[in-house]
Structure 1
């Protein structure tokens, strides 16, 4: 039986065409993303505005964006693949967008994650929190933050900064405008994929962008 959680390249193109059509409110969805590429203003908002973590090559030729939640099991599974992609592809830029769809605990973790960036310890925090068993919430986030060497008083202050709230809100607005189904969602160029993706799936999406 086919694994329907892993879109084929054609299904990725159709998905992204649907995203672009939804934003532009057009009446027809074309057969391929090349017929209806992502509008420039949407790409700017997705890849450049109100950013959280930017990993890999900041000037890379391809940007892979992941919408994630700390309580999403498939997001947790993707951490090792993100690390591998960065290590093997020197021209890849990765944008991680906190999209806390699993409730209050996820929202708390997203705020802590963005605050950890300001102390230069995002990856230590992110990888450790994604590696826990059970619920990611305020208790686990603070425990992981302390173990990662973050200054806790500063972390709490930064978590309450309105700019962090705006970053999360921006990702929510983008997800709603593009009609995203949930986490994880990966977008690169005019291609998108929702749900569990293997390392080879992500490599293929990146390769599709370069060929396009």
Structure 2
């Protein structure tokens, strides 16, 4: 209402102030300094009388930006469906032939990701028909990148899931030393792992994951996609189960 009133007032005043004279009927004249001052005073007085209009404008802008981001993210889910669900470079846990696919973006240094590990894995295992696609998203610094590179490289030794769990459960700082120590503890050939970590394909995987997360408006971890729904941040087991059930329902 404030915006409509303000707009109407400005239009009326602007029209009155810029009415052409008889000699200038066919020409549009710019506002004179005096007329500009009158318009500025009108706006100033209106805002002073209705200060909440500023908060209203900020809130309206926020809602508009959120809606635009949501629309853009949903479009990205459709446009990049194959990249999200079927990228051969993204490890798949759970049931590879499951009827529902859950995609998780995560960082090994993210405390929320760590806290959700057991719940997500237990839910996927108990359901038995969920395909879990893992998207490494190391956004919390160089040590996160080291952990993700090592995890992806461990696929060459068929130990991704075991290493993933071990890194998520790792206590204390995650760095090159702790990552390699954990690798050795689960039986990985550390020298081979280090060599495989230098594979250029891993650079491509991480770069693509970051670009994909940006397109999906996922700016932090964890982030989940199931069906056409994007859920940023941690969630409860009940919420996850509800998302799985909803995705499994036939589309009307």
Q: TM-score, normalised by structure 1?
A: 0.81
Deviations 1:148-200 (A, max 9, x none): 10011110111000111111111111011111120000100111111121111
In the other structure, the counterpart of 1:162 is 200
Q: What is residue 22 of structure 1 aligned with on the other side?
A: 72
- 1:65 matched residue in structure 2: 103
Two-structure CA RMSD over aligned residues (Å): 2.0
* 5+ long unaligned stretches in structure 1: 1-15, 24-32
3-state DSSP of counterpart to 1:97: strand
- Larger helix share, 1 or 2: 2
Match of 2:240, SS? helix
Query: What is the aligned partner in structure 2 of residue 77 from structure 1?
Result: 115
Higher relative contact order (CA 8 A, sep 6+): 1
* TM-score normalised per structure 2: 0.69
SS at match of 1:38: helix
Deviation at 1:100, TM superposition (A): 0.3
Compute the displacement of 1:147 (Å). 0.5
Q: Against the structure 1 CA distance between its residues 84 and 153, is the aligned structure 2 distance closer, same or farther, given a 3 Å change threshold?
A: same
Gaps of 5+ in 2: 1-65
Structure 2 distance, partners of 1:49, 1:145, is: 25
Equivalences, count? 185
Task: Tell me which residue corresponds to 1:11.
Answer: none
Q: Distance in 2 between the 1:160 and 1:146 partners? A: 18
